[in-house]
């Protein structure tokens, strides 16, 4: 299990590796994005509930966007953070699920 997306209706297990945006798309779970994953819009902002240490460290593009959005320390940009294949213990959500 790579990640668990916590929605209002249920928890959805997302398999594989890649960005959180790509995992959601592959699992049929809508994650907003107006920039097609370029890290420019911030609509794919997610809140990490558990397992933040399993994600890639934020690169400068993501850090700049998080700052611009006034994001909390528990938030990441879904199209920018990488989930390694085989990750366990990651749980995340959005403000609109």
DSSP H or E stretch at residue 60: helix 60-69
In the chain, the domains with their CATH numbers are 3-91 (3.10.20.30)
d(CA 68, CA 19): 21
Inter-CA distances, 75 with 45, 46, 62, Å: 7, 5, 11
Write down the pTM of the prediction: 0.93
pLDDT in the model for residue 37: 94
Burial of residue 61 (CB within 10 Å: 0-12, 13-18, 19+) is middle
pLDDT in the model for residue 1: 57
Helices (H), 27-95: 60-69
Q: Count the neighbouring beta carbons within 10 Å of the beta carbon of residue 69.
A: 14
Coil vs helix vs strand at 30: coil
d(CA 70, CA 20): 20
Coil vs helix vs strand at 64: helix
List the pLDDT tens digit at each of the 97 positions of the chain: 579 999 998 999 999 999 999 999 999 999 999 999 999 999 999 999 999 999 999 999 999 999 999 999 999 999 999 999 999 999 999 999 8
pLDDT in the model for residue 2: 74
């Amino acid at each position: 299990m790579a990640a668990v997306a916590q929605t209002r209706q249920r928890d959805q297990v997302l398999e594989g590796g890649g960005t959180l945006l790509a995992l959601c798309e592959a699992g049929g779970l809508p994650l907003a994005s107006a920039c097609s994953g370029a890290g420019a819009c911030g609509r794919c902002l997610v809140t990490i509930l558990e397992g933040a240490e399993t994600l890639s460290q934020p690169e400068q593009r993501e850090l700049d966007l998080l700052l611009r959005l006034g994001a909390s320390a528990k938030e990441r940009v879904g199209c920018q953070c990488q989930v390694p294949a085989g990750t366990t213990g990651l749980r995340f959500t959005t403000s609109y699920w």
